[in-house]
Amino acid sequence: MSDPQAAGRLLAKLVVELRERGGAPAATLAGIALLAQRLHRRPLAAGLTRVALGAGPAADDRTAWLLHRLARECLGDEPDDPRLVAAAHRNAVAALRAQYRSDLEAGNVDLINGAGGVGMRLWDVADDELRGSMAASLADVARRIAAQRSNGLYHGRPGNLLLRRMLADVADEQAAATTVVGDLLRLTPAALDTGELGVGGVTLCSGLPGTAVALGPDVDAALAVSVTQAPVTTPTLARLATLVADPASDETLCHGLAGVALAARLAPLWAGLVPDDLRVRLTARLVAYLDRTDDGGLNAVFGMPLAHALLSGPLGVALALVEATEPTPPWWGAVLSLGDGTATVVGARG
Percent over 70 (pLDDT), the chain:
96
pLDDT of residue 126: 94
Over the stretch 221-250, which tens digit does the pLDDT of each residue have? 999 999 999 999 999 999 999 999 999 999
pLDDT at 165 over 50: yes
CA–CA gap between residue 321 and residue 62 (Å, rounded): 22
pLDDT at 190 over 50: yes
Beta-bridge partner residues of 202? 207
CA–CA gap between residue 182 and residue 232 (Å, rounded): 12
pLDDT of residue 1: 44
pLDDT at 198 over 90: no
pLDDT grade, residue 2 (50/70/90)? low
Which of 85-89, 258-262, 338-342 is the least confident region?
Answer: 338-342
Over the stretch 293-329, which tens digit does the pLDDT of each residue have? 998 889 888 988 999 999 999 999 999 999 988 888 8
pLDDT of residue 56: 85
pLDDT at 330 over 70: yes
CA–CA gap between residue 131 and residue 134 (Å, rounded): 5
pLDDT grade, residue 346 (50/70/90)? low
pLDDT of residue 342: 58
Long-range contacts of 148-152 (CB under 8 A, 24+ apart): 150/198, 150/206, 151/183, 151/184, 151/187, 151/191, 151/196, 151/197, 151/198, 151/206, 151/207, 151/211, 152/197, 152/198, 152/199, 152/205, 152/206, 152/207, 152/210
pLDDT grade, residue 55 (50/70/90)? confident
pLDDT of residue 345: 57
Segments making up each domain of the chain, as ranges: 1-103
Mean pLDDT of the chain: 92
pLDDT at 337 over 80: yes
Over the stretch 87-141, which tens digit does the pLDDT of each residue have? 999 999 999 999 999 999 999 999 999 999 999 999 999 999 999 999 999 999 9
pLDDT of residue 287: 97
